[in-house]
Amino acid sequence: MQKILVARPIFPDVIERLKQYFEVDWNNGDVLGNDELLARLADKDGALTAGEPIGAATFAAAPRLRVVANMAVGYNNFDMAAFNAAYVLGTNTPDVLNESTADFGWALMMATARRIAESEHWLRAGHWKKWNYDSFLGADVYGSTLGVIGMGRIGQALARRARGFDMRVIYHNRSRVAPQIEAELNAQYVSKEDLLKRADHVVLVLPYSAASHHTIGAAELALMKPTATLTNIARGGIVDDAALAVALRDGRIAAAGLDVYEGEPSVNPALLTVPNVVLTPHIASATETTRRAMANLAADNLIAGLGEGPRAGRPPNPVNPDVLGKARS
């Protein structure tokens, strides 16, 4: 029987599914350090991960490893050049989290625009003694301009929500989406600089890569309106968190909502000192229905990728399909 490592705690019923096909080593505790991860992968044929870094050192330590299934849409934790060089298959879990992530992104943007977290903290601290006309004046969402950077599945889901708020939608992407999608969403393609200058609310939903590192830095923040908000539900590293903290402190933009961070779970200490930021711990996909779907899709990818089950050899979501059917080098 083939052996796999499940590197993070996941739903026990998904573990039972995997046990039908594999000998399962399940880490149901804290995140594994790199040395322990490599040690536990040494005799494994496959792995189910949720952000652990996987690359050439992994494959050198785990000569039998043939499939790594990431329980996430993003797979910036994978060194794809190393995957391809070793003929190791990587997979991800797209689509199943589109709507729940878009819901959360919308909620985070709304909370940011209307200063919900800031006002709640103020109330809990016992400061509310009377009503004032100018208490916690925020920004309107209805009728404003939404700027989406990254018009993939989740970006499009956000744009659909904007229709109910009578918002103008502008977007920037590596390439324009199809004309029929633009028409359906009533979305206008613009340059990144134009988007930053015009948008009242900027939402980031682009994948992380070396090319997208610090897509939003000090120069980009300087282009935004001082009344604008920035929401990041994409990946840490897309925003220069240190530059954002300075912009928030100095009032260069009105507020920010962040679900992801550079070097998470660590958060830049400067972000903890400014009141005009809403901080959440990478929970955009955190509904039970969605997380179950992600876990089961990752399991489907691993089962099929290792040649088991009804889809043997045809995993649903390969990110480097060219290695399918090729022997591990």
Distance of CA 256 to the CA centre of its chain: 16
Q: Where are the beta strands (DSSP E) in 36-182?
A: 46-49, 67-70, 89-91, 145-149, 168-172
Domain boundaries, the chain: 3-94+288-323, 98-279
Catalytic residue among 161, 168, 249, 282: 282
Structure tokens at 315: 């995993």
Distance CA 237, CA 321 (A): 27
Distance CA 290, CA 68 (A): 20
Alpha helices in 49-190 (DSSP H): 56-61, 80-86, 98-113, 116-124, 153-163, 179-185
Structure tokens at 200: 């009242």
User: What SS3 class is residue 237?
Assistant: coil
Q: What is the DSSP letter of 251?
A: T
Catalytic residue among 235, 262, 291, 308: 235
User: What SS3 class is residue 257?
Assistant: strand
Give the pLDDT of residue 327.
82
Catalytic residue among 264, 292, 311, 328: 264
Q: What is the DSSP letter of 326?
A: P
- pLDDT per residue, tens digit, the chain (329 aa), is 999 999 999 999 999 999 999 999 999 999 999 999 999 999 999 999 999 999 999 999 999 999 999 999 999 999 999 999 999 999 999 999 999 999 999 999 999 999 999 999 999 999 999 999 999 999 999 999 999 999 999 999 999 999 999 999 999 999 999 999 999 999 999 999 999 999 999 999 999 999 999 999 999 999 999 999 999 999 999 999 999 999 999 999 999 999 999 999 999 999 999 999 999 999 999 999 999 999 999 999 999 999 999 999 999 999 999 999 888 86
Q: Which CATH number fits domain 98-279: 3.40.1550.10, 3.40.50.2000, 3.30.1180.20, 3.40.50.720?
A: 3.40.50.720
Give the pLDDT of residue 1.
95
Q: Is 235 an annotated catalytic residue? A: yes
Give the pLDDT of residue 328.
82
Phi, psi for residue 259 in degrees, rounded to 5: -110, -10
Q: Is 172 an annotated catalytic residue? A: no
Phi, psi for residue 262 in degrees, rounded to 5: -65, 130
pTM: 0.93
**CB-based contact 268:277 (threshold 8 Å):** no
Per CATH, 3-94+288-323 and 98-279 having the same topology is answered yes
CATH 3.10.20.10 fits 3-94+288-323, yes or no: no
Give the pLDDT of residue 329.
66
Q: Is 8 an annotated catalytic residue? A: no
